[in-house]
């Protein structure tokens, strides 16, 4: 019997693991695989291509992970449906396939060239995380104190992403870069895997002003399940995840909340959720606590589906 939830997860690092280790997406010993995603009523997964900041050739690394993504699509074509626009989004949903969307984590992969961004779009990338904690040629990272914010090239990147129909991901950016992005972008942005600073004071988390800005712009926030971002004690459980959800709800965020687990990009998980096959426990607990079914549905997938319909409406170029 399948779990009765349809889930959209805005961030995992599984493709990097498959690329580096030569493993299979269908069955593996990591946090996320097809067998576990198939335990749910439906599943859409954003697959991030994470760029190692020590990589000698960032572009080559990105292309290698894109290749790993497409090889998995081919091997599992009866199960997976790539999402590049609203048509393929609904194709995945209507045909009961696992939706797979290719993303990039760290715009270092662009190597300072807008041409590479346009090529990434043609290769199926639909969201780009501007940084990964540290400064690059696009933006200042969350763990940096440089004050750089969004660079001039970064502003060009954001504008071109708007034009192409790519989602700007502000997880891992500094606060200054975040506000520079919101000033520059004409479209809503996504914090694909970020939590709340009010509950856990980590520089990767969003403060209330940032959360309100995302709510106002009709963007999205994906809740990250990494214990370090959930609790100051660096251990966490489902109750800690719910505290972050509750805080965003208290700010009026019922229409911008979703999931961004960070599976296979985290070194530990909550004590009661070890992999994607156990994610249902979060929603079961919310149901038992009296959360309305409509709110649970919005968080599991409804908000992200609405966001993708808006952001990926038309295929371009």
Q: Grade residue 254 by pLDDT with cuts at 50, 70 and 90.
A: very high
Q: What is the mean predicted confidence (pLDDT) over 166-193?
A: 98
Q: Is residue 294 scored above 90 in pLDDT?
A: yes
Measure the CA–CA gap between 145 and 141, rounded to whole angstroms. Answer: 8
Provide the 10 A C-beta neighbour count for residue 96. 12
Q: Grade residue 290 by pLDDT with cuts at 50, 70 and 90.
A: very high
Nearest to 226 by CA among 269, 171, 280: 269
Q: What is the mean predicted confidence (pLDDT) over 18-47?
A: 95
Domain 3-311 class, CATH top level: alpha beta
Q: Where are the domains of the chain?
A: 3-311
Q: What is the dihedral of CA 65, 259, 96, 26, to 10 degrees?
A: 40
Percent of the chain with pLDDT over 90: 95
From 81-95, 101-115, 275-289, 303-317, the region with the lowest mean pLDDT: 303-317
Do strands 80-82 and 98-105 pair parallel, antiparallel, or not at all (unpaired)? parallel
Q: What is the pLDDT of residue 63?
A: 97
Q: What is the mean predicted confidence (pLDDT) over 101-120?
A: 98
Token pair in block for residue 32: 């996320």
Nearest to 244 by CA among 207, 217, 272, 203: 207
Q: What is the pLDDT of residue 314?
A: 57
Measure the CA–CA gap between 245 and 250, rounded to whole angstroms. Answer: 9
Helix H, strand E, coil C: the string for the chain is CCEEEEEEEEEECHHHHHHHHCCCCCCCCCCCCHHHHCCEEEEEEEEEEECCCCCCCHHHHHHHHHHHHHHHHHHCCCCEEECCCHHHHHHHHHCCCEEEEEEEECHHHHCCCHHHHHHHHHCCEEEEECCECECCCCECECCCCCCCCECHHHHHHHHHHHHHCCEEECCCECHHHHHHHHHHCCCCCEECCCCECCCCCCCCCECHHHHHHHHHHCCEEEECCCHHHHCCCCCCCHHHHHHHHHHHHHCCCCCCEEECCCECCCCCCCCCCCCHHHCHHHHHHHHHCCCCHHHHHHHHHHHHHHHHHHHCCCCCC
Instruction: Give just the sign of the alpha carbon dihedral 24, 30, 32, 35.
Output: positive
């Amino acid at each position: 019997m399948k779990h009765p939830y349809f889930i959209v997860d805005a961030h995992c690092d599984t493709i990097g693991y498959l690329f580096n280790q030569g493993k299979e997406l269908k069955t593996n010993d990591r946090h996320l695989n097809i067998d576990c995603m198939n335990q749910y009523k439906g599943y859409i997964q954003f697959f991030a291509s994470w760029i190692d900041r020590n990589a000698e050739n960032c572009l080559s690394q990105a292309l290698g992970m894109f290749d790993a993504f497409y090889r998995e699509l081919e091997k599992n074509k009866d199960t997976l449906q790539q999402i590049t626009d609203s048509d393929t989004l609904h194709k995945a949903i209507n045909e009961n396939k696992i939706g797979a969307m290719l993303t990039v984590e760290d715009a270092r992969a662009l190597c300072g060239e807008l041409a590479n961004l346009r090529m990434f779009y043609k290769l199926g990338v639909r969201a780009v995380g501007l940084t990964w904690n540290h400064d690059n040629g696009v933006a200042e990272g969350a763990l940096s104190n440089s004050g750089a914010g969004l660079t001039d090239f970064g502003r060009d990147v954001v504008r071109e992403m708007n034009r192409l129909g790519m989602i700007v991901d502000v997880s891992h950016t500094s606060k200054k870069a975040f506000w520079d992005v919101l000033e520059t972008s004409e479209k809503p942005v996504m914090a694909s895997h970020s939590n709340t600073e009010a509950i856990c004071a980590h520089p990767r988390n969003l403060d209330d002003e940032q959360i309100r800005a995302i709510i106002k712009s009709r963007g999205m926030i994906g809740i990250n399940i990494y214990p370090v971002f959930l609790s100051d004690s660096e251990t966490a459980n489902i109750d800690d995840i719910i505290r972050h959800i509750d805080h965003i709800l208290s700010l009026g965020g019922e229409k911008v909340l979703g999931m961004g687990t960070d599976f296979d990009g985290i070194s530990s998980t909550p004590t009661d959720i070890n992999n994607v096959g156990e994610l249902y426990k979060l929603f079961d607990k919310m149901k038992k606590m009296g959360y309305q079914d409509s709110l649970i549905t919005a968080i599991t997938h409804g908000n992200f589906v609405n966001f993708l319909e808006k952001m990926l409406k038309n295929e371009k170029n």
